[in-house]
Structure 1
Amino acid sequence: MRRLALSLIGLLALLPLASAQTSAAKPMLAATPPMGWNSWNWFAGKVTQDDVKQAADLVVSTGMRDAGYVYINIDDTWQGKRDASGVLHPNEKFPDMKGLADYVHSKGLKLGIYSSPGDLTCAKFEGSLGHEQQDADLYASWGIDYLKYDLCGFRTKLDAEAPGDKLKQNVMMRDAYVKMHQALLKTGRPIVYSLCQYGFDSVWQWGPEVGGNLWRTTGDVRDNFPSIALIAETNVGLGKYAGPGHWNDPDMLEVGNGKLTMDENRTHMGMWAMLAAPLLAGNNLTKLTPEVTGVLTNREVVAIDQDSLGKQAERVYQEGPVQIWSRPLADGGRALAVINFGEDTTFLRGIPLHLKEAGVTSGMKARDVWAAKDLGAIKDDYKVALKRHEMLLLRFSK
């Protein structure tokens, strides 16, 4: 066990040098949180090549691309079988992956794909175990720009080879992610690397060392407000681990899905922006309403998410159902979110803003982002009233 741990440490020690050499020649990958659309939340295993093409068309026509949503990501179930040489072929739902990538690129967009370090993926399709370099080369030859690498199918191997030994399992998990990272680097193609392993072993502490540009901090998001609130709670205190090139990932956006109200959609979107989260929409683009489109493409909210300083918000106040989160911005200003996580249907009134704790200094002027309204200089006694699951999102500027 000690030998395994030392071998991993030795490998990781080489990565900063490799990263430094790479960054000198190429722009940083994921300098701001990636934005795009992912097939899983809406299509799950039914996604086809035509669905992906249509998604690309709609991301353009709805204005999402111009708002920053550039990745069109295929999730699980695209894989077919390997040939005698071990080369993986797409299944009948994706007859021409290179042609699909070319089509997506022609729209000014980028294409993402999905795999697992295990023999099989979550949906029991071909994984990349033992074929990491082959698969990375294949993705590069197609023109893939983003890889979501899901631990799901690797758990069987962990349980079989290290039953009950969490330390050994964690070393194996890190080794598996390093292996694909090295394979991606060898292709010479810039491919954003998304670690999907649900926050196991405090991934935020070691994600950059294994090459991750983003890593999941929680289990899967669901299209209901309790799920969104739980994920927000789970990300408390993780801000110091996020920054340009490496981001905490609270999972995809459910904006427009399920029975989320418009207040809940705005709170969900605003919370992810405060968390400097990747913004990967997971909705049915064929049924986008103007209201949902407006939430996803709100330029001021997206600007907070994409702020170049790359500092994730932290919670600075909580009392009962009310939470206040504060995020420093590159222009010296602050983004401040006041959220009513409560279930009571009556208004919460007279909520103090706690501006000093939030880092808002005297003379800063406030703007209500969702209302698109300038408020001027305000104080703690600014009249705040919030409905159930509503967010007040303020941007303070010097």
Structure 2
Amino acid sequence: MIAKTPPMGWNSWDCYGAAVTEDIVRQNAEFMAKHLKQYGWEYIVVDIQWYEPKAVTHVYNPFTELCMDAYSRLIPDENRFPSSAGGKGFAPLAEYVHGLGLKFGIHIMRGIPRQAVHQNTGILGTDKTAREIAKTASICRWNTDMYGVDPEKEGAEAYYNSIFELYAAWGVDFIKCDDICRELPHEEAELVMLSNALKGCGRDMVLSLSPGPALLEKAELYKQVSNMWRITDDFWDQWELLYAMFERAEKWCTHSGPGHWPDADMLPIGPINQVWSKENRTKFTKEEQITMLTLWSIFRSPLMLGGELTGFDAFTLALVTNEAVLAMHQMARHAHQVWRRVIGGSEYILWTAVCAEGGQYAAVFNVGDHNGTIEIQLRDLEIEHASTAMELWSGEESTIDSSLTVSLNAHGAKAYQIR
């Protein structure tokens, strides 16, 4: 099964936007192989516009020239990805990542390049052209690279088959498809066609849908066509966005399961926005980072690191290599919010989940602006007798008689395994 557990990896967007280069990808892959692979981190994903020669920041260059082959398929810019020269595409870089024991992924946009439509280039496997299959009224609101593809047009299926055959030949393991997750129901037929092309390409690939927020009423469709889908728009290092994620996670938690995972987006930790300044680091406090990892883990969101890995400090490295928390990410089942209450001037949230190996998990969050202490009653945890609780971040163990006393800093969290 593809994505039996939530995927874990690194994505270049938070650091480098559209401007990532091959040497940067390689250095992050090397760091992951050396320091993170043993903890379950495995995907290295090149985000948007790897086919754009002039990309230098997070800002897109509108209507710029793109690197493309004779069959209307985008290919890597050779200046930014030198190993792609000579028509090799991403195959050499993917081979390098695989050689480190990791998996390789790329970002794509829904549709066909506008450039291909304007030049009326061909489609592999058919006598139809880009202009004949394009849905020119279907455009992305925030990027000018593509037109939609009309599933009703002869040649449309051949186009999607051809791009996934190319990605399979390159050795791609992960596809992040953008401008499609929240575009339903208008682009639903194109999503289904894209998904079928991926499934028929002969290589296992995770399919991740962006951007969000995803449509809750389309949850069953997302499960059928993809492995993960964004439940939020771009998530950055702002407390307001993290606070809002609790409501999103509560709504989506029942849809998590093997092969299909609601995605709370990348983790903006460590050095981010590196194209603007090498001094930029996450604005999340340490408490907020612990809260984020705790929520993502008990909710079982995919975990995609957004920071420059080689710049991780001791705290950040410890944050993403905590074996007990990552075990919760892998072992939690039926996670859900139990309650959300204002107590003693602060706001607290309680989540619980069954542990696949026995016992259960409990995560307690202080999302208010004041430090505080709270008593969690055994009945809230559906426990009828005294139990042992281990706090996952600290490793401290305690016995629960009638209640669990939890002291939390503002915006902080603690997670427990209870047996």
- Normalised by the shorter chain, which TM-score bucket? 0.7 to 0.9
- 1:140 paired residue number: 168
Cα distance, 1:126 vs structure 2: 5.3
Q: Which runs of 5+ in 1 are unaligned?
A: 1-27, 156-168
3-state DSSP of counterpart to 1:384: strand
Cα distance, 1:335 vs structure 2: 1.0
Aligned partner (choices 346, 363, 366) of residue 389 of structure 2: 366
User: Where does 1:35-74 land on structure 2 (aligned, <5 Å)?
Assistant: 35-61=8-34, 63-74=35-46
| d(CA) in 2 for partners of 1:126, 1:144 | 21
Query: How large is the Cα RMSD of the aligned pairs?
Result: 2.0
Closer/same/farther in 2, CA of residues 188 and 360 from structure 1, 3 Å limit: farther
Aligned partner (choices 392, 402, 407) of residue 385 of structure 1: 407
Cα distance, 1:299 vs structure 2: 0.5
Q: Is the 8 Å Cα contact of residues 335 and 393 (structure 1) preserved in structure 2?
A: yes
| d(CA) in 1 for partners of 2:284, 2:26 | 27
3-state DSSP of counterpart to 1:337: strand
- 1:29 paired residue number: 2
Cα distance, 1:46 vs structure 2: 1.3
Q: Is the 8 Å Cα contact of residues 294 and 414 (structure 2) preserved in structure 1?
A: no
- 1:341 paired residue number: 367
Q: Is the 8 Å Cα contact of residues 263 and 302 (structure 2) preserved in structure 1?
A: yes
Residue 90 (str. 1) matches residue 90 (str. 2): no
3-state DSSP of counterpart to 1:132: helix
Q: Which amino acid aligns with 1:329?
A: C
Closer/same/farther in 2, CA of residues 200 and 273 from structure 1, 3 Å limit: closer
Cα distance, 1:193 vs structure 2: 0.7
Q: Is the 8 Å Cα contact of residues 115 and 149 (structure 1) preserved in structure 2?
A: yes
- 1:254-307 CA deviation, whole Å, 9 max, x = no partner? 233422111111111111001111010001212100111000111010110111
Cα distance, 1:118 vs structure 2: 3.2
| d(CA) in 2 for partners of 1:389, 1:172 | 39
- 1:313 paired residue number: 335
- 2:177 paired residue number: 149
Q: Which amino acid aligns with 1:394?
A: Y
3-state DSSP of counterpart to 1:300: helix
- 1:93-131 CA deviation, whole Å, 9 max, x = no partner? 123211100000000000011112234675444578443
3-state DSSP of counterpart to 2:184: helix
Q: Report the TM-score when normalising by structure 1.
A: 0.82
- 1:205 paired residue number: 220
Aligned partner (choices 228, 231, 243) of residue 217 of structure 1: 231
Q: Which amino acid aligns with 1:391?
A: A
Q: Which amino acid aligns with 2:380?
A: E
| d(CA) in 2 for partners of 1:197, 1:260 | 22
3-state DSSP of counterpart to 1:315: strand
| d(CA) in 2 for partners of 1:171, 1:237 | 20
- 2:351 paired residue number: 325
| d(CA) in 2 for partners of 1:124, 1:50 | 27
Q: Report the TM-score when normalising by structure 2.
A: 0.78
Aligned partner (choices 294, 306, 324) of residue 282 of structure 1: 306
3-state DSSP of counterpart to 1:90: coil
Q: Is the 8 Å Cα contact of residues 255 and 269 (structure 1) preserved in structure 2?
A: no
Aligned partner (choices 184, 203, 227) of residue 198 of structure 2: 184
- 2:275 paired residue number: none
Percent identity (aligned): 30
- The structure carrying a bigger helix percent of its residues is 1
- 1:317-353 CA deviation, whole Å, 9 max, x = no partner? 1112111111111123111111110123xx212x121
Residue 228 (str. 1) matches residue 250 (str. 2): no
- 1:24-61 CA deviation, whole Å, 9 max, x = no partner? xxxx0000000000000111111011111111011122
- The structure carrying a bigger strand percent of its residues is 2
Q: Is the 8 Å Cα contact of residues 36 and 281 (structure 1) preserved in structure 2?
A: yes
| d(CA) in 1 for partners of 2:175, 2:393 | 33
Closer/same/farther in 2, CA of residues 176 and 362 from structure 1, 3 Å limit: farther
- 1:249 paired residue number: 263
| d(CA) in 2 for partners of 1:249, 1:41 | 16
3-state DSSP of counterpart to 2:402: coil
User: Where does 1:125-136 land on structure 2 (aligned, <5 Å)?
Assistant: 125=145, 129=149, 130=156, 131-136=159-164
| d(CA) in 1 for partners of 2:8, 2:160 | 26
Q: Which amino acid aligns with 1:343?
A: D
| d(CA) in 1 for partners of 2:299, 2:285 | 21
| d(CA) in 1 for partners of 2:229, 2:384 | 33
Q: Is the 8 Å Cα contact of residues 76 and 123 (structure 1) preserved in structure 2?
A: no
Q: Is the 8 Å Cα contact of residues 110 and 177 (structure 2) preserved in structure 1?
A: yes
| d(CA) in 2 for partners of 1:124, 1:287 | 33
| d(CA) in 2 for partners of 1:145, 1:235 | 27
| d(CA) in 2 for partners of 1:390, 1:171 | 38
Aligned partner (choices 88, 93, 96) of residue 103 of structure 1: 96
3-state DSSP of counterpart to 1:383: strand
- 1:180-236 CA deviation, whole Å, 9 max, x = no partner? 111111111000111114134324232112x21111111111112221111122121
- 2:254 paired residue number: 240
3-state DSSP of counterpart to 1:65: helix
| d(CA) in 1 for partners of 2:401, 2:109 | 50
| d(CA) in 2 for partners of 1:112, 1:295 | 24
| d(CA) in 1 for partners of 2:25, 2:146 | 20
Q: Please say which of residues 250-259 and 119-128 is displaced more in the overlay.
A: 119-128
Q: How many residues align?
A: 348
